[in-house]
């Protein structure tokens, strides 16, 4: 059987990831593909429990290294239990955030050593690389306004200072510059329809590439 592949949708909080992923799913299902939607942190029962620990706003004392290793632990489980089996059985996996987010938030924003992050990440991924990271780019302040307009509270990472979120945004842009073959930046300030159109262009060329 032909293998599937994984597309990551990533970017600032409130950039529109969840919204655009629904559009991607509709598009792919209409074309007859088997699609698996998943997210990080999370994606498995164990991963969702780890997510709750990572994002709990009542524990601001979490150390940077604890946070990093929790992300790594969840990712290892996610890859083995869900992502690899789906790809092996020919499915297209769409993941809401993945390792680019760890580099953006833990390295570019928090300042954790790059080599340490690469080491933990390599333990979890063992050489696995997604086919594409689609980065929805927006000023984090605009993203936060969107999150707030959704009417839910902020989680521990959304509640970080604007400066932190701006560094994370720039981290995504820098990663895209360093690895243009697996990153595409999409202007997330466009309307929902325009964002989806831009994203589907990228998806359609990936389908051709993996045909
Ligand atoms: N292009 C857009 N223009 C205006 N509003 C948008 C756009 N995309 C999404 N929204 C709205 O902004 C809010 C946040 O969108 P969404 O939940 O998709 O973002 P997200 O990136 O998944 O956020 P989070 O980081 O919190 O998971 C929602 O209310 C959504 O309807
Ligand atoms: Mg979301």
Give the domain CATH number at 57: 3.40.50.300
> Which residues span the domain enclosing 201?
5-209
Q: For residue 8, what are the β-bridge partners?
A: 95, 133
- The one-digit pLDDT tens for each residue of the chain (211 residues) are 789 999 999 999 999 999 999 999 999 999 999 999 999 999 999 999 999 999 999 999 999 999 999 999 999 999 999 999 999 999 999 999 999 999 999 999 999 999 999 999 999 999 999 999 999 999 999 999 998 888 777 777 667 788 999 999 999 999 999 999 999 999 999 999 999 999 999 999 999 999 8
Whole-angstrom Cα distance, residue 50 to residue 37? 18
Q: pLDDT value at position 153?
A: 73
Which of 33, 37, 107, 95 is closest to 67 using CA atoms? 107
Ligand 1 atom nearest to 12, measured from its CA: 25
* 39 CA → ligand 2 middle, Å: 9
Collect all residues with Cβ–Cβ distance below 8 Å to 71 and sequence separation of at least 6: 40, 41, 54, 102, 106, 120
CB 16 within 8 A of CB 188: yes
CB 95 within 8 A of CB 6: yes
Q: Residue 153 gets which letter from DSSP?
A: P
Q: For residue 137, what are the β-bridge partners?
A: 187
Mutation pick for ligand 1 pocket among 8, 19, 104, 193 (CB with most ligand atoms within 8 Å):
19
CB 48 within 8 A of CB 63: no
Domain total of the chain? 1
Whole-angstrom Cα distance, residue 33 to residue 128? 22
Ligand 1 atom nearest to 21, measured from its CA: 18
Q: Which ligand is nearest to the CA of 155?
A: 1
* 14 CA → ligand 2 middle, Å: 7
Four-residue CA torsion sign, 48, 54, 57, 59: positive
Whole-angstrom Cα distance, residue 80 to residue 44? 10
Nearest CA to ligand 1 atom 23: 14
* 125 CA → ligand 2 middle, Å: 23
Pocket of ligand 1 (CB under 6 A): 13-19, 146-147, 149-150, 190-192, 195
Whole-angstrom Cα distance, residue 183 to residue 175? 8
Whole-angstrom Cα distance, residue 166 to residue 71? 21
């Amino acid at each position: 059987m032909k293998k599937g592949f994984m597309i990551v949708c990533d970017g600032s909080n409130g950039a529109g990831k969840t919204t655009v992923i629904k559009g991607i799913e509709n598009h792919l299902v209409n074309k007859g593909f088997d699609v698996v939607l998943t997210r990080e942190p999370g994606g498995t029962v164990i991963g969702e429990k780890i997510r709750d620990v990572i994002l709990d706003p009542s524990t601001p004392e979490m150390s940077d290294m604890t946070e990093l290793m929790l992300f790594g632990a969840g990712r290892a489980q996610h890859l083995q239990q869900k992502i690899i089996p789906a790809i092996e059985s020919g499915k297209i996996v769409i993941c809401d955030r993945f390792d680019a987010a760890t580099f953006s938030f833990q390295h570019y924003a928090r300042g954790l050593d790059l080599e340490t992050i690469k080491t933990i990440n390599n333990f979890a991924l063992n050489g696995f690389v997604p086919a594409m990271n689609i980065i929805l780019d927006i000023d984090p302040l605009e993203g936060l306004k969107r999150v707030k307009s959704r009417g839910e509270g902020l989680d521990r990472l959304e509640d970080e200072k604007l400066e932190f979120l701006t560094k994370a945004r720039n981290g995504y842009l820098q990663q895209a510059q360093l690895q243009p073959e697996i990153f595409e930046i999409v202007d997330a300030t466009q309307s929902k329809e325009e964002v989806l159109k831009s994203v589907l262009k990228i998806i359609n060329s990936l389908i051709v590439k993996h045909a």
